[in-house]
A and B are shown apart, each in its own frame.
Chain A
Amino acid sequence: MEYLLEALDVTKIFGTLKANDGVTLQVKPGEIHAFLGENGAGKSTLVKMIYGALQPTAGEFRWMGKTVTIASPAAARRLGIGMVFQHFSLFDALSVAENIALAMPGTFDMKKLSGRIARVSKEYGLPLEPTAIVADLSVGERQRIEIVRCLLQEPKLLIMDEPTAVLTPQEADQLFLTLARLAKEGCAVIYISHRLEEVKRLCHNATILRHGKVVANVDPTKETASSLAKLMVGGDIHVVRAARKDGKGDVRLKLDHLKLQADGPFAVELKNVTLDVKAGEVVAIAGVAGNGQSELFDAVSGERALAKDSMLVIDGKPMGHDGVNARRNAGAAFVPEERLGHGAVPGFRLSENVILTRHSSDQKLVKSGMVQKGGAAGVSERVIKEYDVRKGKPDPEARALSGGNLQKFVMGRELDRKPGVLVVNQPTWGVDAGASATIRQAIIDLARQGSAVLVISQDLDEIFEVADRIAVISRGQLSEAFPAGDLSAEKIGLLMAGSHEVREGHHAARA
Chain B
Amino acid sequence: MRLVLEKRGERSHRMALLSPLIAIALTLITGGIIFALKGLNPFAALYVYFVEPLTTSWSIEQLFIKATPLALIGAGLGVSYLANVWNIGAEGQLTAGAILGSAIPVFFPEMQTLLTLLLMLGLGVIGGMVFAAIPAFLKNRFSANEILTSLMLVYVVQLILDWLVRGPWRDPKGYNFPKTISFSGWQTLPSFEVLPPSMGPLYVNLGAVLAVLVVVALAFMMGRTLKGFELRVQGVAPRAGRFAGFSREKTVWFCFLLSGGLAGLAGICEVMSTVGQLQPGISPGYGFTAIIVAFLGRLNPVGALVAAFALAISYLGGESAQVALGISDKTARVFQGILLFYILACDSLILYRLRITGLGGKVAEGRA
Q: Which residues of A contact B (CB under 8 A)?
A: 55, 301-303, 323-325, 328, 334, 336, 338, 341-348, 352, 355-357, 359-360, 366, 369-371, 396-397, 399-400
Contacts and interface: CB of A to CB of B under 8 A. Distances in A.
Interface of B: 9-11, 224-229, 232-233, 236-237, 239-240, 242-245, 361
B10 A400 contact: yes
Contact of A345 (B9, B226, B227, B240): B240
A359 B227 contact: no
6 contacts: A301-B243, A303-B242, A303-B243, A328-B245, A334-B243, A357-B243
A359 B246 CA distance: 11
B227 A369 contact: yes
B243 to A, nearest CB: 6
Contacts of B226: 355, 359, 366, 369-371
Given A371-B224, A396-B10, A336 B243 contact: yes
B225 A369 contact: yes
A417 to B, nearest CB: 15
The prevalent SS among residues of B at the interface is helix
A366 B246 CA distance: 15
A334 B240 CA distance: 12
Contact of A343 (B236, B240, B245): B240
Contact of A338 (B11, B232, B239): B239
B112 to A, nearest CB: 40
A348 B229 CA distance: 10
A324 B9 contact: no
A355 B9 contact: no
A342 B245 contact: no
B225 to A, nearest CB: 5
Contacts of A355: 226, 229
B315 to A, nearest CB: 34
B10 A356 contact: no
For the complex of A and B, list the 8 residue pairs with the smallest distance between their C-beta atoms, beginning with the closest: A325-B245, A324-B245, A345-B237, A342-B239, A356-B244, A341-B237, A345-B240, A397-B10
B233 A356 contact: yes
A355 B243 CA distance: 12
Contacts of B224: 370-371
A341 B10 contact: no
A346 B243 contact: no
A347 B229 contact: no
Contact of A346 (B225, B237, B361): B237
A399 B226 CA distance: 22
Nearest to A304: B242
Given A356-B233, A369-B225, A371-B224, A341 B240 contact: yes
Nearest to B221: A369
B7 to A, nearest CB: 9
A371 B243 CA distance: 18
A422 to B, nearest CB: 15
B10 A357 contact: no
B245 A346 contact: no
Contacts of B236: 345-348
Contacts of A346: 236-237
A346 B226 CA distance: 18
Contact of A342 (B10, B225, B243, B361): B243
Contact of A371 (B11, B225, B240): B225
Nearest to B351: A347
A399 B236 CA distance: 13
A366 B243 CA distance: 17
Contacts of B227: 369
Given A336-B243, A338-B239, A371-B229, 9 more contacts: A302-B245, A328-B245, A342-B239, A346-B236, A356-B243, A356-B244, A369-B227, A370-B225, A370-B226
A458 to B, nearest CB: 20
Nearest to A329: B245
A302 to B, nearest CB: 8
Nearest to B244: A356
A342 B240 contact: yes
A357 B242 CA distance: 10
A108 B134 CA distance: 48
Contacts of A397: 10-11
A342 B233 CA distance: 10
Contacts of A352: 229
Nearest to A342: B239
Contact of A341 (B11, B239, B244, B361): B239
A342 B241 CA distance: 8
B233 A345 contact: yes
Contacts of B243: 301, 303, 324, 334, 336, 342-343, 356-357
A370 B228 CA distance: 9
A348 B244 CA distance: 14
Scoring B224, B227, B244 by chain A CB atoms within 10 A of each residue's CB, the highest score goes to B244
Contacts of B229: 352, 355, 359, 371
Contacts of B240: 341-345, 356
A370 B226 CA distance: 6
Contacts of A370: 224-226
Scoring B9, B233, B243, B361 by chain A CB atoms within 10 A of each residue's CB, the highest score goes to B243
Nearest to A15: B9
Scoring B11, B229, B233 by chain A CB atoms within 10 A of each residue's CB, the highest score goes to B229
Contacts of B242: 303, 324
B202 to A, nearest CB: 36
A366 B227 CA distance: 11
Contacts of A325: 244-245
A4 B227 CA distance: 61
A16 to B, nearest CB: 10
A341 B239 CA distance: 6
A336 B224 CA distance: 27
Contacts of A338: 239
A301 B228 CA distance: 24
A345 B232 CA distance: 10
Nearest to A328: B245
A423 B281 CA distance: 58
Contacts of B245: 302, 323-325, 328, 360
Contact of B10 (A345, A369, A399): A399
B124 to A, nearest CB: 27
Scoring B227, B228, B240, B244 by chain A CB atoms within 10 A of each residue's CB, the highest score goes to B240
B167 to A, nearest CB: 46
Nearest to B361: A55
A183 to B, nearest CB: 36
Contacts of B11: 347, 397
Nearest to A358: B244
A360 to B, nearest CB: 7
Contacts of A345: 233, 236-237, 240
